[in-house]
Amino acid sequence: MFDYLMIFHITTSENWEKAKLNNEYKCESLETEGFIHCSRQSQIINIANTFYRHYEQLIILQIAPDKLLSKIKWESPIHPNPNIDHKINNTEKFPHVYGVINLDAVEKIIYLCKNNQGLFEDIF
């Protein structure tokens, strides 16, 4: 059993603005895979540099799991695009949110930008 204080979700400014208008956050993976991908703090930078490298800036939602109305399952990683060269350990567990993220569970918004080498770097 995993007991982490916070989980994190990587998104864009546009998706966050849409969530505020709709009073809930959801993304394409909820429709296509049945859940919203999240991570632990230590997994964020690797995920950002692997799956979101084509973005210049990202937003990280810091989420309090105990405030979520949707169910969380800690599961092995799912890689929807086998053409992406990833450095994700298949034995790691990731929090997957099975439903929308209610906005009152989002405790903090963190902006993530690239460094001079074109990589996202740890800001924690």
Q: What is the pLDDT of residue 5?
A: 85
Taking the alpha carbons at both ends of the chain, their separation in whole angstroms is 25
**107 Cβ contact partners less than 8 Å away, ≥ 6 residues apart:** 6, 62, 63, 64, 67
Integer angstrom CA distances of residue 69 from 21, 47, 48? 19, 25, 26
The predicted-structure confidence for 72-118, as pLDDT tens digits, reads as follows: 999 987 665 555 555 666 678 999 999 999 999 999 999 999 999 99
User: What is the number of structural domains in the chain?
Assistant: 1
- List the CATH number of the domain containing 85: 3.20.170.20
Flag whether 1 is in a domain.
no
Domain containing 52: what range?
Answer: 7-113
- Residue 8 banded pLDDT, cuts 50, 70, 90: very high
pTM of the shown model:
0.87
In the predicted model, what is the mean pLDDT of residues 41-51? 91
Residue 118 lies in a domain: no
Tokens of 90: 């298949």
**Residue 108 located in a structural domain:** yes
User: What integer pLDDT is reported at residue 89 of this predicted model?
Assistant: 64
| Residues 69, 101 contacting (CB under 8 angstroms) | no
Q: In this structure, are strands 101-102 and 106-113 parallel, antiparallel, or unpaired?
A: unpaired
The per-residue pLDDT of the chain, averaged, comes to 89
Is 41 part of a structural domain of the chain?
Answer: yes
